[in-house]
Amino acid sequence: MVTLTEADIHFFKTNGYLIKREVLDPDLMARARARLWDGKPPSFDPDDPDTWVGPIKPEEENDDRVNHRRNFRWQFRETGRDEFMIDMLPRNPSVRAMVEQFLGPELREPQGIRGIYSTLPYGDRERADRPPGCHVDAHPFYLGVVSYIDFVPPGGGGFTVWPKSHRTFFNDFYSRHSYEPTGAYQNDRDWFSEHGEFADCHGGPGDIVFWHHRIGHTASPNHSRQIRKAVLYDFSRSNLPYVQEEPPVDDMWRDWSDAVRNVEIDSL
């Protein structure tokens, strides 16, 4: 069983994200990797990486939400209701135990996941000095999890975050969880995107990234030879419908667990 240490919680509170290694079940990840090919573009050959290089051909684009394919993004949401996918991530005993350490036991039960979110290789496109600008997600939740079901090397399209940005963006919204930005949000978003420190959360199969719902993040370009394959889920406490419209409070960790609230961090 993988659990959180006090140092883990301190890092998460300070930076807004945390990586834990080799958490997921290898057999379920293998099933998920195989399942992805059920939604592949016609020209993709699972045995030929040269066929995976983006962007998606115009004639193979798909605007259907359950298997969205456009440019370098392939979001296979059809897998979101597969029971084995739910077992792999939100029902994983270690994941559940760590989330309870963060949020307490009163969690909303998982009915599905976001699906498999893929970023295609960029081929010989030149690397930029910085990833594309950060953003904050629009839907209400508490704690996001990005899990890798295959290797994601540095520069391989990993989930990228702007450490400590959650402590700024939390106060850039009129509500604690809903997407109601104040006038400060865009200015702070521009600053972090252009000047803020960012972290490429690369890793291997079974690695997961916990992230605070107000942290600035993006999916970076993929300069590897393989498809970046990530499975996403958003955890929430059962009280979310009652507090999501409340304004930000001085203690942004007020609704989190005692284990989180009791860890002191330095002010910005």
DSSP characters for 94-129?
Answer: HHHHHHHHHH-S-BPPPS---EEEEE---TTPPPPS
By CB atoms closer than 10 A (0-12, 13-18, 19+), residue 248 is middle
What is the pLDDT at residue 149? 98
Where do the H-state alpha helices sit in the chain? 6-15, 26-36, 83-88, 93-103, 166-169, 183-195, 240-243, 258-261
Residue 129 is predicted with a pLDDT of: 85
Q: Is residue 170 in a domain?
A: yes
The answer to whether residues 267 and 154 touch, using CB atoms and an 8 Å cutoff, is no
Q: Using an 8 Å Cβ cutoff, are 237 and 142 in contact?
A: yes
Beta-carbon contacts of residue 202 (< 8 Å; ≥ 6 apart): 152, 153, 154, 155, 156, 158
Q: Is residue 268 part of a domain?
A: no
Answer whether 239's CB lies under 8 Å from 177's CB: no
Structure confidence at residue 17 (pLDDT): 98
Q: Please, what's the b/e burial string for 171-187 (b: 16 or more CB within 10 A of its CB; e: otherwise)? A: bbbeebbeeebeeebee
Contact 135, 218 (CB under 8 A): yes
pLDDT for position 267: 84
In a domain, 86, yes or no: yes
pLDDT along the chain (268 residues), means of 10: 95 98 98 98 97 97 96 97 98 98 96 96 91 95 98 97 98 96 98 97 98 97 97 97 94 96 91
How many structural domains are present in the chain? 1
pTM metric for this prediction: 0.96
Q: Does any domain span residue 123?
A: yes
Q: Provide the residue range defining the domain that includes 80.
A: 6-261
Distances from the Cα of 258 to the Cαs of 67, 93, 194, 250, 261, in angstroms?
Answer: 40, 21, 36, 17, 5
CATH number at residue 225: 2.60.120.620
Looking at residue 25, its pLDDT comes to: 98
Is 204 part of a structural domain of the chain?
Answer: yes
Residue 266 lies in a domain: no
